[in-house]
Amino acid sequence: MIHTLPPPFKETRSADLAAEIAAMNCLEECRTSLRLAQIPLPVPIERWIEHPLKMDYGIDDMPGADGYNVLGTKVIRISPRILDDKTRYRWVLAHELGHARLHDLKSPRLKLDDPRYSQLYANEVERQANRFAAAFLMPLRSLVHSFFDICRARSLDAEHTIVSLLTRTQHGPELWYRVFLPELAERFGVNRYGVLFRLGELRLGDDTPFILPRHSIVLHQCLHMGG
Amino acid sequence: MAKRQPKPVTPTEPIWIILRRKRSEVLKKGLREMAAILKIAPTHLSDIETGKRTPSDAVIGRICKHYEISEVALRAGWSRPFSAVATIASQDATTIEKVPALLSAAKTLSPAQWDSLIEAAHRLTGKPKEGPR
């Protein structure tokens, strides 16, 4: 069983730490059960959710939702509306798997008609399921290795590039927007908002964000404008 | 000493559970991937695998081929006879009257007894014995 995040990452928010640890253990369970040397990318969630994770997975019409998990059970259903949107489908599957792994009937849920339901940061159960989805689809070690792989593939100096990405430099947002967001999204089978969510939530040893919040805001604006 | 007649194998689980497990654990295919192979919508396959829907004859044929499960086992699982049964049972007034009576009388026969009955029918009609399906 895994109990902590690999350095240099650290998470002081208990709900986020629980989601991160649960996702890492879930991935490790799949890897060992299938006797794999390493976790393949993109994580084959559609197959793994049934075997070896043994979820009761199916497709079902549901008004106003992309998917659901019957809390306290292994039942996961996905709306047919999202089947053709590959990245959204993968994210929703991982999100519902997060509910199945982390929550039960005693979990503090907001009702669907609660005005705060769609507010991510007010809705801890949904936020935790998203953190699980991000951690499951973008495993930490693979994420870190990916930065170096992308630098190597693009003949970029890794040290210089990563400093540019993580600090307030002129080229940082451009590098994120043109190179790293699209390549990370492709590699992990998520969309660019998913990558941003993942990176924006990661914390380092001294509890500082992994990427500058300012970068995150600029990138969100860029994506919104036509990314 | 009398030899015991072999009993037909009856699966202990619903056929859709067997199908789902075979797809995910043996064939190692995702739901959408297998639906594409079977040329049906993922929703359709999900309905089959959750017992909400019985597949058509054409889909049963494709499941038989891609899952390597006999058509007889699939049809038994869904209580769906071959279409020849309905055709023969309704071909004329005699079969409409007699087929239900015959089936009712024969419903507890063992496979070997069925074979004997079929042979007897061939003798009566003078037709040569057909090979296995």
| pLDDT tens digit sequence for A97-111 | 999 999 987 777 666
Structural domain boundaries, residue B91:
87-125
**Chain A nearest CA to B83, separation (Å):** 30
With CA atoms as reference, the chain A residue closest to B51 would be A58
* Residue B132 in domain: no
- Domains: count for chain B: 2
Q: How far apart are the first and last CA of chain B?
A: 32
Instruction: Determine whether the interchain pair A47/B46 forms a contact, defined as Cβ–Cβ distance below 8 Å.
Output: no
Q: In terms of domains, do B39 and B70 share one?
A: yes
A80 contacts B31? CB cut-off 8 A? no
The tens digit of pLDDT for each residue in B36-83 reads 999 999 999 999 999 999 999 999 999 999 999 999 999 999 998 888
- 3-class DSSP state for residue A68? strand
Of A137, A140, A123, which Cα lies nearest the Cα of A191? A137
Residue B6: pLDDT above 70?
A: no
A135-145 mean pLDDT: 94
Number of domains chain A is built from = 2
pLDDT bucket at B3, cuts 50 / 70 / 90: very low
* Domain endpoint, select from A137, A166, A193: A137
More confident: A211 or B31: B31
Question: In chain A, what is the greatest distance between 2 CA atoms, to the nearest angstrom?
Answer: 51
What confidence score (pLDDT) does residue A170 get?
76
Can you give the pTM of this predicted structure? 0.82
Question: How confident is the model over A166-205, as pLDDT tens digits?
Answer: 777 777 788 888 899 999 999 999 999 999 899 888 888 7
A190 & A205 share domain: yes
Residue A100's H or E segment, with its range, is helix A86-102
Range of the domain at A184: 140-225
User: Is there a single domain that holds both residue A102 and residue A194?
Assistant: no
Provide the mean pLDDT of chain B.
87
A36 touches B at CB < 8 Å: no
